[in-house]
Amino acid sequence: MSERSQQLATTIEAILYLKGQPLNLSEIATSANCTRQEAKKAILELMSIYAQRPSALEVVETPAGYSLQLRSQYQELVHHLIPAELKIGTLRTLAAIALYHPILQTDLIDLRGSSAYQQVQELVELGLIRKKPQQQGRSYWLEVTDKFYQYFEVEQLSQIMQPN
């Protein structure tokens, strides 16, 4: 696999993870800034990579599009490890906010889809994020709160993002 091909596959992997829902080929190509043909080739490479390695994740094609998801044999872990009040989609939205901290709500919606509106409201109610009005514009800045750091037992985001 060429470096360009590997980079595109990695970008598409990130897109599938962050969106947290099936995406059709056009949506993937647009998000990855490539052609549909390039996206299809990279997705097939990703599917092959995940199929060949022992991983809890897999890339699958569903009627709604392509998705990065947990293999079925690991679904039971979700109920034991993820707090009951946070659904997977909400947790992924929180991860995107933490990663891009702070992020404009409009940018988050572009990244995660319209379901993020409700997830943001839930995260605000739980006290894990805060919304601050933009000084010029109609959107809000979203950022994690101290409760986020306490809840996930980290002192700062750099702890999460640094490789071991």
Asked if residue 89 and residue 69 are part of one domain, the reply reads no
**What pLDDT shows up at residue 137?**
84
**What pLDDT shows up at residue 87?**
84
Asked if residue 144 and residue 91 are part of one domain, the reply reads yes
Asked if residue 65 and residue 41 are part of one domain, the reply reads yes
**What pLDDT shows up at residue 70?**
82
**What pLDDT shows up at residue 160?**
47
Q: Mean pLDDT in each 10-residue stretch from start to end of the chain (164 residues)?
A: 86 89 92 95 94 89 88 70 73 90 93 92 89 90 87 61 44
**What pLDDT shows up at residue 28?**
95
Asked if residue 34 and residue 10 are part of one domain, the reply reads yes
Indicate the burial class of 132 (C-beta count within 10 angstroms; 0-12, 13-18, 19 or more).
exposed
Total number of domains in the chain: 2
Structure tokens of 127? 């006290």
pTM above 0.75, yes or no: no
**What pLDDT shows up at residue 19?**
82
Last residue of a domain, one of 30, 52, 74: 74
**What pLDDT shows up at residue 163?**
44
Question: Which structural domain, as residue segments, surrounds residue 126?
Answer: 82-161
**What pLDDT shows up at residue 162?**
45
**What pLDDT shows up at residue 164?**
41
**What pLDDT shows up at residue 64?**
85
Task: Outline where DSSP puts E strands in the chain.
Answer: 57-62, 65-70, 103-104, 129-133, 140-144
Buried b vs exposed e over 39-70: b needs ≥16 C-beta within 10 Å? bebbbebbbeebeeeeeeebbeeeeebbbbbe
Asked if residue 155 and residue 90 are part of one domain, the reply reads yes
Asked if residue 90 and residue 38 are part of one domain, the reply reads no
CATH at 68:
1.10.10.10
Last residue of a domain, one of 26, 50, 74: 74
Asked if residue 87 and residue 69 are part of one domain, the reply reads no
**What pLDDT shows up at residue 161?**
47
Last residue of a domain, one of 56, 74, 92: 74
Asked if residue 49 and residue 97 are part of one domain, the reply reads no
Asked if residue 87 and residue 67 are part of one domain, the reply reads no
